[in-house]
Amino acid sequence: MKPRVIVTGAAGLIGRYCVTSASRWAPDWDVQGLSRADLDLTDRAATEQTWRHLTPNAVIHCAALSRTKDCEQNPQLARRINVDATAYLAGLSKDIPFIFLSSGEVFDGQQGWYRERDAPNPINFYGKTKLEAERLVLQNPRHTVVRIVLTAGTSQNGDRSFVEDMCRAAKSGKSVTLYADEYRCPLPAGVIARAILELSNKNVPGLHHLGGRERLSRWEIGQALLPWYPELQGCLVKGCARDHTGALRPADLSLNCEKIQARLSFPIPGFRSWLKDRVHRGVDLWDYEPARL
């Protein structure tokens, strides 16, 4: 029998890509996805029963309450899902590899190109829950934390990636304000999924950063997407982060990814170079196969 890997958050963006691309990038694993409809991870009795039934050999924990606004509005739920459920799963998986997807939001955004050794300082509740969960997971030397970034792709319900959010707003007649002074290093979900699946096959526990090679402003990201999404034409508005209202957002969450790159079999692409490669090769924009750069 093949070793079994459980992927939580299988109906989410990265979890879905991990499950659907597993046959390509992890053919020796029996990868099983669990969505919220399959299992409420905050229900400890049900979760323990599921773990005993499936007896996983490794776990990729993608499930989270990941929208900053939702975390600010319901901090108790955010803590139950992002911290308590993660800690419980890590405990159930204490003797096997456990990969936890965290976020660059653990940083305050004042520096940019963050390395794993840089001190975190979250400025919103989502980032605080992720940092707390990281520290609990890393108490086990067998476990892994991967901080990820702004993620593009196609989700099951069309409501998980930042690209889908932009297009949905544009189609409803709303303008999309993109800050020219807020920087990210976006990646397609397929790239993240391949990297995570490769890590699951290697003994490389600890903390890793995973982001794109290019540091782009939100405005630059929107401009790069225009040729692919004509519905965005005329809807993008160039803005400034000082005018932002609501939960605090870090100004620069670019990540240095040298550590994880040394462990992967493929080059991590930049976002614009990924899009350019798609045009050149005439393949699906968010296909699971990383660009050949």
Residue 106 lies in a domain: yes
pLDDT at 291: 45
Q: Which residues contact 91 (CB under 8 A, 6 or more apart)?
A: none
DSSP alpha helices (H): ranges in 114-242? 125-137, 162-171, 189-200, 218-225
pLDDT at 159: 75
DSSP alpha helices (H): ranges in the chain? 13-20, 22-25, 44-54, 68-73, 75-79, 85-92, 125-137, 162-171, 189-200, 218-225, 258-261, 271-281
CATH (domain of 117): 3.40.50.720
pLDDT at 293: 40
Q: Which residues contact 107 (CB under 8 A, 6 or more apart)?
A: 114, 118, 120, 121, 122, 127, 250, 253
In terms of Cβ atoms closer than 10 Å to its own Cβ (0-12, 13-18, 19+), residue 93 is: buried
Give the amino acid at 20: T
**Radius of gyration of the chain measured on its C-alpha atoms:** 18
Residue 286 lies in a domain: no
Q: Are strands 98-103 and 144-148 parallel, antiparallel or unpaired?
A: parallel
Residue 263 lies in a domain: yes
Residue 293 lies in a domain: no
Residue 290 lies in a domain: no
State which residues of the chain have pLDDT below 50. Answer: 290-293
Q: Which residues of 31-67 are buried (b: 16+ CB within 10 A; e: fewer)?
A: bebbbeeebebeeeeebeebbeeeebbbbbbbbbbbe
Residue 104 lies in a domain: yes
Residue 84 lies in a domain: yes
What does the DSSP 8-state code read for residue 82? I
Question: Number of structural domains, the chain?
Answer: 1
- The dihedral region occupied by 215, where left means phi > 0, alpha psi between -120 and 50, and beta the remainder, is beta
Strand partners, 238: 178
Residue 39 lies in a domain: yes
User: Strand, helix or coil at 233?
Assistant: coil
Range of 118's domain? 4-281
Contact 286, 153 (CB under 8 A): yes
Q: Tell how far CA 164 is from the center of its chain.
A: 15
